[in-house]
């Protein structure tokens, strides 16, 4: 029963995705389906949480009103998709642009290892959820607690009461509103199975999105390797069952960067990709305060990246489509932050001169750098450490720095670096005990960017199949890719 509200949300997200962004089947149909389902998971959860919040503001929020709003939106998207499919049938079908190469034996082995890793991840999640069904501290003191307020049409505003000043009442509401909306569908209490199922849904959506986006953007071998490294990261698997908002935030960060990278491909419709990337960036802002930093950084990086690589007028058009996609959700987020939620975070309420005075303390820099290094070491253990795997791949395969790869590095790399720099500055000026703040949050903040970093790494890594295939096969693949680009421009 707990899965029914989630299935409806994913169906809504899938319909919105199909309506706005028809991905061309470049390499493999299975990867495109996983890509669409992973994005639909994040899109459906985010949109349904916004709908529920707006219904609460309007004095509704009952089960019938939620179902009516979501089914109306789903039906409208379905009709538009049906019309598009009829138009496509009436036209001559385009041939497949790029043909996938036959699977190499080592790719089959990598696929089997990845399948085993996903099974291990599922077993780990189940065991952790069974041992701690209510999640860790922040789950029952922030996210699930606020969801229990939001389930009440009468007392829902207590979810951001200033009396909760020690548990961040100003945090955005995506996760809590989505949990409350799912509870409201079930109509009986607040079963712990719902937040557990939502946590699992987001964790495996991140895994699926990293694998599928790497396959579609770079190739099948890159996607398999990227998935292996992620499921081989114990820190990522450990945080998933905690029922925090950090794994959902990593999904929205990864989705927005993957869509922006896809927008640089000739075969991909650019404007829908930019707009949908804006939607995911705004959903990151609706998830956590750190998502607001990501949204602001990404907006600036999109503009500067397009401006330096082409023309500034073209950059304005690109960022315009990005902002258009983000506008509905970011407007709701800013309304909540500035009109409803109290300003209680000590990081924001402290006097400016006190915050700036901490920048002169050299010992704080040393402590934070040491903590970042410890987090990198803590990603794994021994020879199973993911950084060791990335180092071996770097030496064995090497990197490719063509025009497209440089664009991806410029966009995703700069964004990740600036976001992490923002986290560093936040630790520098925090009024809380620095060591306590680092110990309780840095491991989660690093997971915000880890899947996106893996995507960037495997996008700029040389294609493994290029060294595993015969020269004539590589040349055939290269020529078909050129023909695809020429056909798109024509």
Largest Cα span, the chain: 69
The helix/strand/coil state of 380 is coil
Write down the pLDDT at residue 448. Answer: 96
pLDDT digits (tens), the chain, 490 positions: 678 899 999 999 999 998 888 665 444 478 888 999 999 999 999 999 999 999 999 988 889 999 999 999 999 998 988 887 777 665 554 444 444 566 677 788 989 999 999 999 999 999 999 999 999 999 999 999 999 999 988 899 999 998 888 888 999 999 999 999 999 998 877 899 999 999 999 999 999 999 999 998 988 899 999 999 999 999 999 999 999 999 999 999 999 999 999 988 767 788 999 999 999 999 999 999 999 999 999 999 999 988 887 778 888 999 999 999 999 999 999 999 999 999 888 888 899 999 999 999 999 999 999 999 999 998 887 777 899 999 999 998 888 888 888 888 999 999 999 999 999 999 999 999 999 999 999 999 999 999 999 999 999 999 877 655 444 433 333 333 444 444 443 3
Crossing angle (nearest 10°) for helices 193-218 and 174-186: 120
**Positive or negative, the Cα torsion across 36, 42, 45, 49?**
negative
Give the Cα separation of 152 and 292 in Å (integer).
Answer: 27
Write down the pLDDT at residue 193. Answer: 93
pTM: 0.92
User: In whole angstroms, what separates CA 96 from the centre of its chain?
Assistant: 29
What range defines the domain where residue 164 resides? 3-489
Give the Cα separation of 450 and 407 in Å (integer).
Answer: 20
Write down the pLDDT at residue 89. Answer: 65
Write down the pLDDT at residue 24. Answer: 59
Number of independent structural domains in the chain: 1
């Amino acid at each position: 029963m707990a899965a029914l509200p989630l299935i409806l949300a994913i169906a809504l997200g899938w319909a919105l995705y199909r309506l706005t962004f028809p991905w061309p089947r470049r390499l493999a149909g299975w990867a495109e389906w996983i890509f669409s389902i992973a994005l639909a998971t994040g899109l459906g959860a985010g949109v349904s949480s916004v709908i529920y919040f707006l219904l609460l503001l309007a004095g509704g929020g009952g089960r019938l009103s939620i179902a009516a709003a979501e089914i109306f939106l789903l039906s409208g998207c379905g009709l538009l998709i049906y019309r598009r499919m009829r138009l496509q049938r009436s036209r001559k079908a385009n041939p497949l642009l790029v043909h996938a190469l036959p699977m190499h034996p080592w790719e089959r082995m990598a696929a089997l290892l990845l399948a085993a890793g996903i099974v291990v991840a599922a077993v780990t999640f189940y065991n952790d959820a069974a041992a701690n069904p209510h999640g860790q501290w922040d789950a029952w003191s922030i996210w699930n607690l606020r969801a229990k307020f939001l389930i009440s049409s009468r007392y829902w505003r207590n979810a951001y009461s200033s009396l909760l000043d020690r548990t961040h009442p100003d945090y955005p509401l995506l996760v809590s509103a989505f949990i409350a909306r799912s509870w409201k569908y079930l109509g009986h209490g607040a079963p712990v199975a719902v937040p557990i199922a939502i946590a699992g849904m987001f964790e495996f959506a991140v895994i699926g999105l990293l694998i599928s986006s790497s396959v579609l953007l770079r190739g099948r071998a890159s996607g398999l390797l990227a998935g292996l490294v992620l499921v081989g990261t114990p820190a990522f698997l450990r945080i998933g069952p905690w029922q925090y908002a950090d794994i959902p935030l990593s999904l929205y960060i990864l989705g927005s960067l993957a869509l922006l990278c896809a927008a640089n491909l000739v075969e991909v419709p650019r404007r829908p990709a930019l707009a949908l990337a804006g939607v995911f960036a705004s959903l990151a802002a609706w998830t956590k305060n750190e998502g607001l930093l990501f949204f602001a950084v990404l907006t600036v990086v999109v503009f500067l990246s397009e401006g330096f690589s082409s023309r500034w007028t073209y950059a304005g058009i690109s960022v315009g489509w990005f902002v258009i996609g983000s506008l509905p959700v970011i407007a709701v987020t800013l309304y909540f932050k500035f009109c409803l939620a109290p300003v209680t975070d000590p990081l924001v309420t402290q006097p400016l001169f006190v915050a700036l005075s901490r920048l002169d303390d050299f010992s704080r820099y040393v402590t934070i750098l040491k903590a970042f290094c410890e987090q990198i070491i803590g990603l794994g253990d021994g020879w199973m450490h993911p950084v060791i795997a990335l180092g071996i791949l770097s030496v064995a395969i090497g990197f490719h720095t063509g025009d497209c790869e440089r664009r991806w590095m410029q966009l995703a790399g700069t964004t990740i670096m600036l976001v992490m720099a923002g986290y560093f500055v936040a630790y520098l000026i925090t009024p809380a005990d620095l060591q306590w703040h680092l110990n309780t949050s840095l491991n989660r903040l690093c997971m915000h960017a880890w899947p996106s970093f893996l995507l960037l790494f495997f996008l700029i890594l040389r294609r493994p199949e290029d060294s595993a295939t015969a020269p004539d096969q590589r040349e055939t693949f290269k020529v078909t890719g050129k023909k695809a680009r020429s056909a798109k421009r024509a």
